[in-house]
Copies of this chain bind each other. A is one copy, B any other.
Amino acid sequence: MENTNTKKLGKQTVKLNNPPKIVATYSIVGPKEGEGPLGKYFDEVLNDDLYGKESFEKAESEMIYTAITAAINRADLTEEEVDYLFAGDLLNQLTSSSFAARKLNIPFFGLYGACSTMSESLSVASMMMDGGFADYVVAATSSHFSSAERQFRFPLEYGAQRSPLAQWTVTGAGAMLLAKEGDFPEVTYITTGVVKDYGIKDPNNMGAAMAPAAVDTISRHFKDTGREPKFYDAIVTGDLGKVGKEIISKLLLEYGYDIRENYFDCGDMIYDDTVQNTDSGGSGCGCSAVVSCGYFYKKMIRKEIKNMLLVSTGALMSTTSSLQGESIPGIAHAVAIEFNNIEGR
């Protein structure tokens, strides 16, 4: 049957006819992220990554709760006015998000896309807005170095040696508040990822595992929209890190897209490996969340960039799937955010 939907551009991309506006964001990070090169762009930097709680998991949940409520406050709204919360995180059964939602009287949809969750939640939230189901929606996600290490790898107390290809899970949470009106950056196109698996089995090399998905989604976005890489001031992947970043720049060239001049990777930006010992860079849902909510959103509001393509990337394995010898499926979701109401442009 023929695709009769006018919003659809090709198989994976939709155009939003009523682009939702990102009227507020909030980013909260741990001490290490605050000491990194983007530290001054984050709204809140913790002195202690336990955040006054008795476990790292409870701290992470409190961080995403803070990000959500602060974004709502910044938009001069109350939680009663928010129609939906779309949120997810890395913890088993999404407990950071669910326990934060427990304190909020907001209809809640939990999402899981591993480290792609910022653009996944923003995608679904934006479509809900454009579809006319909501006036205000929050998209949020979080991760925490210490809760992720003990869940996915080893308790920190073991002092296990890190692989040089390993990435450092970002301690951070980010939230975006979407509204119908306002002179703010808006979500214009969404390219939803398909799962790609090229057989990488090393859970310490997630950048390589996620790269094929990023290449697929980004090239699909350009093909579906007819845009060229140079259209965007910033093409921003989530957490491919140094390894994955290099891979996708090369692979996209083979597809005829040269993104090298305006390509950024949140995982590559958030730490300074020369002094912070973060190996291949940052990772985790929180990585692209805080870099997009903190650094890039502010760049847009300050009119230093006018648009970006946010492509959060996720590695969809579990410890069980890795132990059972499975390779690592990857996914990437792309969201075009544009702020064209800039005088003089």
Interface residues of A (CB under 8 A from B): 1, 3-8, 11-12, 14, 54-55, 57-58, 77, 80-81, 83-84, 88, 90-95, 98-99, 101-102, 104-114, 120, 123-124, 127-128, 130-135, 151, 180, 192-197, 316-321, 324, 326, 329, 331
In the complex, what residue of chain B is closest to A316 when comparing beta carbons?
Answer: B98
Contacting pair B112 A110 (CB below 8 A): yes
Residues from chain B with a CB closer than 8 A to the CB of A14 are 133
Specify which chain B residues have a CB less than 8 angstroms from the CB of A324 in the assembled complex. 54-55, 57-58
Q: For the complex formed, measure the closest distance between the CB of A184 and the CB atoms of chain B, giving whole angstroms.
A: 15
The interface residues of chain B lying within 8 Å CB-to-CB of A104 are 194-195
Cα A317 to Cα B317 in complex, Å, equals: 20
Q: What separation, in Å, do the CA atoms of A243 and B85 have in the docked complex? A: 30
Docked CA distance A321–B94 (Å): 10
A20 to chain B, nearest CB (A): 12
Is there an interface contact between B11 and A329, defined as CB atoms closer than 8 Å?
no
Q: A3-B83, A130-B133 are in contact. List 13 more A-B contacts (CB 8 A).
A: A1-B77, A5-B135, A8-B133, A11-B83, A99-B329, A101-B329, A104-B195, A109-B192, A110-B113, A110-B316, A111-B111, A124-B124, A131-B133
15 contacts between A and B (CB under 8 A): A1-B77, A1-B81, A1-B135, A11-B107, A90-B93, A92-B93, A92-B319, A95-B321, A98-B329, A108-B192, A110-B120, A127-B128, A128-B131, A131-B132, A131-B133
| Smallest Cβ-Cβ distance to A327: which chain B residue | B102
Name the contact of A192 in the complex, choosing from B12, B77, B84 (C-beta under 8 A): B84
Q: Is the CB of A109 within 8 A of B101?
A: no
Which one of B80, B113, B131, B316 lies within 8 Å of A11 (CB-CB)? Answer: B80
Cβ-closest chain B residue relative to A88: B112
CB-based nearest B residue for A90: B93
Bound form: Cα–Cα A58–B318 in Å: 12
Q: Tell me whether B113 and A109 are in contact (CB under 8 A).
A: yes
Asked if B132 and A5 sit within 8 Å, CB to CB, the answer is yes
In Å, the complex CA distance between A8 and B1 comes to 32
Contact B1 A94 (CB under 8 A): no
A81–B8 alpha-carbon span in the complex (Å): 12
Cβ distance A130 to chain B, nearest Cβ, rounded Å = 6
Q: How far is the CA of A118 from the CA of B114 in the complex (A)?
A: 20
Contacting pair B127 A195 (CB below 8 A): no
B134–A8 CB distance below 8 A = yes
Closest B residue to A84 using CB positions: B192
Knowing A11-B80, A98-B329, A320-B57, the reply to whether A112 touches B93 (Cβ < 8 A) is yes
Cα A102 to Cα B195 with chains together (Å) = 5
Which listed residue (B3, B95, B98, B114) contacts A320, Cβ 8 A?
B95
Distance in angstroms from A162 CB to nearest chain B CB is: 21
Q: Which residue of B lies closest to A86 (CB)?
A: B124
Contacts of A197 in B (CB 8 A): 102
Instruction: Indicate if the CB atoms of A108 and B331 lie closer than 8 Å.
Output: yes
